[in-house]
A and B are shown apart, each in its own frame.
Chain A
Amino acid sequence: MFGFTLQESLFLGFCSLLILSTKLMLRLHLKVPGHSMFFLILFLMLAALCVRKRWSATLAAGMAGLLGMFTGSGKLGPLGIVSYMLPALVIDFCVPFLESHRKNLAFFAVAGLLAAAARAPISLFSEWMVGMDIQVLFMSTAIKTGGGMIFGALGALPVPALLTKLEARGLLPANPKPDNSGANS
C-alpha cells in the first residue's frame, strides 16, 4: 500500500488506533487541554522511526483520521484527517535530522513542539471563519496550542530510549529497507 509492505501498513494502522484509544482514555479521565498531543507525537514519531520509510508518519496520521471515522471515535470529514496529518508532515520532515541525532533529546523535543504547533492553523482558520475577533482568536489559539506544544515536546522525549530498546530486541530493521523489498500489500 503506497510502497509499504503489508506488515508495515498494519503496524502503522495499529499506531493509529493506539493514538485514538489513548486520546479517548485521556479525555475520559484527565480532561487536561492538549494532553492528547503527548501520545499523538509519541506514536507518530515511533511510527516514522520504526518503519523508516518516507511519509510513514503521514500515512499513520491519515489512517488515524480514517479509522476515527471507522470506529466512531473521530471527527467527521476532512478536518479530522487534516488535524492529524499536519503534525505528521512536520515529523516526516524532521525524520532525517532525528535519525542522525538520536542522542540529542533537544532535537526531539523541538520536533515534538513544532509538530504540535502545526495544528494551530486549523484552529486559526476555523475560528477566524466563524467571525472571532482577531485578538481573541490569537489568545484562544495560544491557549489551545500552547498546552499541546508542551505535551508534544514531552511526548517526543521518550522516543530515542524506546527505539534503542526496540532495536536491542531485534524488532526493527538494522538499515532502512529499499522500497520494493518483500511483498507489498
Chain B
Amino acid sequence: MLNGSSRHTTRVSQTRLILRITAAMALAMGALFWHGPWSLTALTLGTAALAVATGAYRHPWRRLVLVFIWQVVLIMALYLLRYGVQSLPEGALVAWRLVLLVLPGVLLMKTTHHGEMARLLVRFLPARVGFVLSTCVFFFPTLWGVTVQTYESQVLRGARILPRELVNPANWGTLVRVICLPAIVSSLVLARDVALAAHCRWYGLHPDRTVWPGPNPSNSTGEPRA
C-alpha cells in the first residue's frame, strides 16, 4: 500500500501538485453542480486532459475499470428495472456523471507519489498532527509486516483464512481471533514503544520545537515549530 504505486507515479513540484489537486477538485465539483448544456462533454474532456497531464496512461487500468463498471451496471440495471428500456440513456448519463465525480480524484491519487502528497498535506496541518501522521506511516510497514507474518503462520497451522476461504462468513470468526486481535495488540504495543522512544528523546517537553535546517542550511528559516 505504501510502496506499490511508485512505479507508476511521478515526483512533481509542489506548485504543480497544487494545480493538479485544484483541477481534480474543480472537475469533481463540476460533475456535482454544473448541469448545463455541454457540461458532460466539457467535464469528460477536462478529465481526459487531467489523465494526460498526470501520465495516467502508465497506470494499470484493469482493476480501476472493474470498479467503475460495477457502478455503471448497477445504476443502469436499476433504471431498467424501474422504468424500462427507454430509460437506459438517462441512466447511462447519470452513471457517467457519477464516474466523472470520482474519476479525477482517483486519477490524481493513483499517479501522484505518496511522499509528495504527504509533504504537501503536512504543510497545511498543525505540526503535531503532521508528526503523528508521518510517524504512523513510517512505522506502519513494521506493524503490517508482523500482521502478514502472523497471517502466514496461521494459514500454515490450518486456519481457513486464505482469500477464497473468506467468502465463507463462517471463517470470519477465525480471522478476527487469530489476525485482528494480534494486530490490535501489536498496535497498542508499538504505539507504546514509539511514544516511549519519543519521550526518551524529550518530545513534548516544550510546546514548540526548533527546526534543523538540513544538510543545506539555506532550506529553512529555522523558526520554532510545534
- Judged by CB atoms under 8 Å, the answer to whether A and B touch is yes
- Give the total of B residues in contact with A, Cβ under 8 Å: 86
Whether A72 pairs with B114 at a CB distance below 8 angstroms is yes
- Residue numbers of A with Cβ under 8 A of B are 1, 5-11, 13-18, 20-21, 24, 27-33, 38-39, 42, 46, 50, 63, 66-67, 69-77, 79-80, 126-127, 129-133, 135-136, 139-140, 143, 154, 158, 162, 165-166, 169, 171-172, 183-185
Task: Output the nearest chain B residue to A5 by Cβ-Cβ distance.
Answer: B195
Whether B185 pairs with A169 at a CB distance below 8 angstroms is yes
The one of A50, A67, A131 in contact with B184, judged by C-beta atoms closer than 8 angstroms, is: A50
Whether A14 pairs with B136 at a CB distance below 8 angstroms is yes
Expressed in whole angstroms, the Cα–Cα distance for A21 and B179 within the complex equals 13
Q: Mark B63-74, 1 if CB is under 8 A from A, else 0.
A: 100110010001
Contacts of B212 in A (CB 8 A): none
Whether A136 pairs with B75 at a CB distance below 8 angstroms is yes
Contacts of B24 in A (CB 8 A): 76-77
Whether B82 pairs with A136 at a CB distance below 8 angstroms is yes
Q: Chain B binding site: helix, strand, loop or mixed by DSSP?
A: helix
Contacts of B42 in A (CB 8 A): none
Expressed in whole angstroms, the Cα–Cα distance for A50 and B191 within the complex equals 12
- Residue numbers of B with Cβ under 8 A of A are 1-2, 5, 9, 21, 24-25, 28, 31-33, 35, 63, 66-67, 70, 74-75, 78-79, 81-83, 87, 90-91, 93-94, 97-98, 101-102, 104-106, 108-110, 112-114, 117-118, 121, 125-126, 128-129, 131-137, 139-140, 143-144, 163, 166-167, 169, 172-173, 176-177, 180-181, 183-185, 187-192, 194-196, 198-199, 203-205
Would you give the shortest CB distance from B137 to chain A, in whole angstroms?
A: 6
The one of B81, B104, B188 in contact with A11, judged by C-beta atoms closer than 8 angstroms, is: B188
Known contacts A6-B204, A131-B94; decide if A72 and B31 are in contact (CB<8 Å): no
Task: Output the nearest chain B residue to A143 by Cβ-Cβ distance.
Answer: B74
Q: What are some 25 contacts across the A-B interface (CB < 8 A)?
A: A6-B203, A10-B195, A11-B191, A13-B132, A13-B136, A14-B140, A31-B66, A32-B167, A42-B176, A46-B184, A63-B132, A63-B136, A69-B121, A70-B121, A72-B114, A75-B102, A75-B106, A75-B109, A76-B21, A126-B101, A133-B87, A133-B90, A139-B82, A184-B204, A185-B128
Whether A71 pairs with B114 at a CB distance below 8 angstroms is yes
Known contacts A6-B203, A76-B21; decide if A66 and B33 are in contact (CB<8 Å): no
Whether A130 pairs with B132 at a CB distance below 8 angstroms is no
Contacts of B117 in A (CB 8 A): 69-70, 72
Would you give the shortest CB distance from A46 to chain B, in whole angstroms?
A: 6
Whether A171 pairs with B128 at a CB distance below 8 angstroms is no
Whether B32 pairs with A129 at a CB distance below 8 angstroms is yes
Contacts of B82 in A (CB 8 A): 133, 135-136, 139
Task: Output the nearest chain A residue to B98 by Cβ-Cβ distance.
Answer: A130
Expressed in whole angstroms, the Cα–Cα distance for A27 and B106 within the complex equals 15
Contacts of B204 in A (CB 8 A): 6, 183-185
Task: Output the nearest chain A residue to B202 by Cβ-Cβ distance.
Answer: A183
Whether A74 pairs with B121 at a CB distance below 8 angstroms is no
Whether A42 pairs with B74 at a CB distance below 8 angstroms is no
The one of A11, A67, A72 in contact with B187, judged by C-beta atoms closer than 8 angstroms, is: A11
The one of A5, A15, A140 in contact with B78, judged by C-beta atoms closer than 8 angstroms, is: A140
